[in-house]
Structure 1
Amino acid sequence: MDVLPPSPARIPRHLLTDPAFLHATRSRDFPAIFALAHRHGISFNRIGEATGIKAERVSRIARGEGTVTALDTVERIADALRIPGALLGLAARPWEHCSLTPHPESDDGDDPMNRRKLLRGALAAGLTAPAITALSTTRQSLDSALAADTPPADLSDLEAAAETYGYGYHGQAPTRVLADLVSDFADLRPMLVTPQPIATRVRVCRTAGQMAGMAAIMLHDLGARKEARGWFATASRAARESGDRQLHAWVLARSAMLDLNYGAPQAAAARAEQARHIAGTRPTAASTLAAAVAARAYALARQPDQARSSVAAADAYMERLDAGARADTWLTHGEQKHHVHLSHAFTVLGDTRRARNSQQRAMELSAPTSTMTRSLLTIDAAACDHHDGDTEQACRRAVAVLNSLPAAYRTGLIHQRATDLYRSIPTLQHREDAVRQLRDVLTA
């Protein structure tokens, strides 16, 4: 008579998005895994029955009095508790592809539409702790898959989606676009754990690098510095694995902007120079962006000679860019974007004439729906007013921008840039009405 294999002691689905559980699986911390499973309703007897490990030993492991090291035992535990292989550093388990039994908690499951709704719902209230957890879980899941040595399947639809996201917000709330992008990004994970030709894996890693980089840009815009750093790290890893040096340089240049905009110009300059080295000396979108970001970083670091040299390099590259590289997307370097960078560099250098020229040109090239860009350009113009001696006009401009913005835009980068303007105003002027109004809006 055949003996039936033990039925799985499936862990609750929500544990697969629990940061503590994910940390435990990545480090193969089986005392924590068993303890968390027990805390969420699976008895030690049930774990033992499903894994073939004596219940007494399961209990001892959960108390930290033992652990698991044998690969076959790790695989048995993954199968018994239905832990996806990638979370434990294993290849995808057979049941991940062929299971016909729906999970009792899988109403929302991995269905893309439901995942998108959940992400939108989590982000609707802003970057709260649950929203950050949902974003991080999605990123970490694909990050784990990148560590596996198994190629993905075809991804032409997601390549097209990445191109579409590259065109920016189009007047939509950043959190809404972020939710949609991360939902699509999650669809890349199964492609990384399904054996396919190496050329296809290169494509999926390239798309993952693009999407993770754009998610980091959105988080940067929203002021979530730590989370943006994590997404940039994932984007960099994916770009390196794809072998696309220009994408890798683009990711590094964009991540340098994170340092740049949040008070670390020396670190930004170093990262931008790394991006310039990887991009090489050809006129590409990445090499032009890296030079422009380096100019801003050196200006903020009070290294005007290096800043002006970088501006000259960026301008020289810009003149030689082909039409494709000049497209107005996040992944390229159009004329509008170029003048946005020069506006900030010249503003910080105190070259208000050239700064205003770049501001005017960038405004002419910016769509009316480009809320983020137009607001930053106006705050640069306000900083030029202050530098030229009209601090009252500077404050009134900045206040008008902040008051006109929807709540979703009134934080993060725009708030930081307006705060930099306020901090540049001498303390003796802080009692003036216009300066106090700027302070009040910033602290509201």
Structure 2
Amino acid sequence: MSESTPSPGLPRRLLADPEMVAACAERDFALIFQLAKRKGGFHPSRIARACELTPSRVGEVMKGRPKITNMAVIERIADGLRIPGRMLGLADRSWEPSPIPRQGPTPAVGPARAPLPVVDSRSGSDLDNILAIAAGTRVTPNVLRSLQASIEDYWRRDDQHGGEALRPAVIGQLRYVTGIMRDTADPNYRRSLHGIAAELARLTGWTYFDARQYNTAQGYFTESLRFAREIDDRPFIANVLACLSLQSTYQDRAQDAITLARAAQDSARLVGGTPRLMAMLSMREAFGHASAHDQEPTHRAITEAQQHFERIREGDEDPAWVEYFDHTKLTVDTGIALGQLGDATAAEPLIAEALRAEPTTNLRGRAFHSFWLARTQLQRRQVELACATATEALDLAAVIESPRVVAHLQEFRHLLKPYRANASVATLADRITSAAS
């Protein structure tokens, strides 16, 4: 088919255009649509048909309002315009050529999961392969420090803006690290590289979890477990199991969440897990019990978390990845667990206290916690106050990339139904609907 003939998707030359590549990496759909029109001859009506959107919606997006964060819409755009999944930080689409199979067995946790993304010879992984080959065994302490600093920067940016735009870079660095790991003979360097690969795989899994792509997230979490297990890093294994436990609560698999949290605690105890780490893991168990609406075990797990936290002492050798679990985080997590149990009277002041103390730079965390505060306020029939708090969460959701936040707000819209006669409620519900579209 010639490029002058209308094709099912964007021309290959446009998909290779650096401006389009950058726009896809940032999920800048305003620019993607503008480039599709200007360089690909796709007028808004054609984009609308291909992506199952209305022409007016396409026009609004091209003007930069509002941003598209809904994963179902993003996937429709990828499929409608035939944008490869990797360009948008998605798993490979069903219409893409099959990737080269991974060599050797892939470890699994529980039943069979979706296959992990693999390095192949298509554009996008070529540079990673070239760099890995060129690096050979020339790993130095400076290289390791640089990689670790990148991870810390990724987590900071993930907290501030969400992980959607970060994902392509993180996956690329994971490919790079696994490449040089294969060519590195020094056992000390190999151990450090395995630890870095485990962190990158967990971060990748987290970005997919935040995007509510749970099967792909579990694949990367499993990959992270494999890297950590190869160096017997029991605390990090506990950390990944805690991530899987939290994901299970989102999938309404309360018993799985509890089992995974307890397995994480067992792994941490094998090497004398620090009080801070054990406190975090106990709170993950509390979330599992709370999602099952089991009062007594939830309160017991919360008490255990508080007791562990009280034993924290200056000089504890906490892993860097658990340092985020401070008093403010313990407070807000306790409030959320109590809110899940329906004890809004106890939950509301805890979440409000944590929001006052929480860093203003942690936009995604503040959006989540504002939602939970609004939910407890609504449970207490404080309708106007709940709407004001949820509006703050909605405003934060407009500047971050987190489908989980949007999903929570959609849940809140459902909770508002009995109060739709209230003008504030009707306005907020309409705004949430618009943000989710």
TM-score w.r.t. the length of structure 2 is 0.64
Unaligned runs of 5+ in 2: 1-15, 29-68, 79-83, 93-98, 108-135
2:287 maps to amino acid: R
* Cα distance in 2, alignment partners of residues 428 and 345 from structure 1: 24
Q: Which residue of 2 aligns with 1:164?
A: 153
* Cα distance in 2, alignment partners of residues 159 and 229 from structure 1: 23
Q: Which residue of 2 aligns with 1:278?
A: 267
Structure 2 vs 1, CA of residues 332 and 246 (structure 1 numbering), >3 Å: closer, same or farther? Answer: farther
1:234-383 map, 5 Å:
234-280=223-269, 282-323=273-314, 332-383=324-375
Structure 2 vs 1, CA of residues 384 and 398 (structure 1 numbering), >3 Å: closer, same or farther? Answer: same
CA contact (8 A) 1:328 1:337 kept: no
CA contact (8 A) 2:157 2:163 kept: no
Q: Which residue of 1 aligns with 2:431?
A: 441
* Cα distance in 2, alignment partners of residues 430 and 369 from structure 1: 33
Structure 2 vs 1, CA of residues 372 and 327 (structure 1 numbering), >3 Å: closer, same or farther? Answer: farther
Shift of residue 258 of structure 1? 1.5
Structure 2 vs 1, CA of residues 120 and 142 (structure 1 numbering), >3 Å: closer, same or farther? Answer: farther
Which residue, out of 214, 227, 232, partners 2:221? Answer: 232
Deviations 1:369-391 (A, max 9, x none): 21111111111111111121223
Aligned-residue Cα RMSD (Å) equals 3.7
Structure 2 vs 1, CA of residues 173 and 166 (structure 1 numbering), >3 Å: closer, same or farther? Answer: closer
Q: Which residue of 2 aligns with 1:391?
A: 383
2:387 maps to amino acid: C
2:288 maps to amino acid: A
Count of matched residue pairs: 327
* Cα distance in 2, alignment partners of residues 334 and 305 from structure 1: 25
* Cα distance in 1, alignment partners of residues 329 and 250 from structure 2: 16
Task: Using CA pairs under 8 Å that are at least 6 residues apart, name the structure with larger relative contact order, 1 or 2.
Answer: 2
CA contact (8 A) 1:379 1:397 kept: yes
* Cα distance in 2, alignment partners of residues 243 and 191 from structure 1: 20
Residues 1:177 and 2:166 are matched in the alignment: yes
Percent of matched pairs sharing the same residue:
17
* Cα distance in 2, alignment partners of residues 390 and 187 from structure 1: 52
* Cα distance in 2, alignment partners of residues 298 and 172 from structure 1: 30
Shift of residue 325 of structure 1? 6.2
1:379 maps to amino acid: F
Structure 2 vs 1, CA of residues 419 and 373 (structure 1 numbering), >3 Å: closer, same or farther? Answer: same
CA contact (8 A) 1:170 1:370 kept: yes
Shift of residue 198 of structure 1? 3.2
* Cα distance in 1, alignment partners of residues 310 and 167 from structure 2: 33
Residues 1:414 and 2:317 are matched in the alignment: no
1:253 maps to amino acid: A
Shift of residue 159 of structure 1? 2.6
* Cα distance in 2, alignment partners of residues 412 and 405 from structure 1: 9
CA contact (8 A) 1:225 1:258 kept: yes
* Cα distance in 2, alignment partners of residues 263 and 430 from structure 1: 28
Per the alignment, in what secondary structure is the counterpart of residue 171 of structure 1?
helix
Unaligned runs of 5+ in 1: 1-107, 109-113
1:362 maps to amino acid: A
TM-score w.r.t. the length of structure 1 is 0.63
1:311 maps to amino acid: I
CA contact (8 A) 2:367 2:396 kept: no
* Cα distance in 2, alignment partners of residues 325 and 336 from structure 1: 20
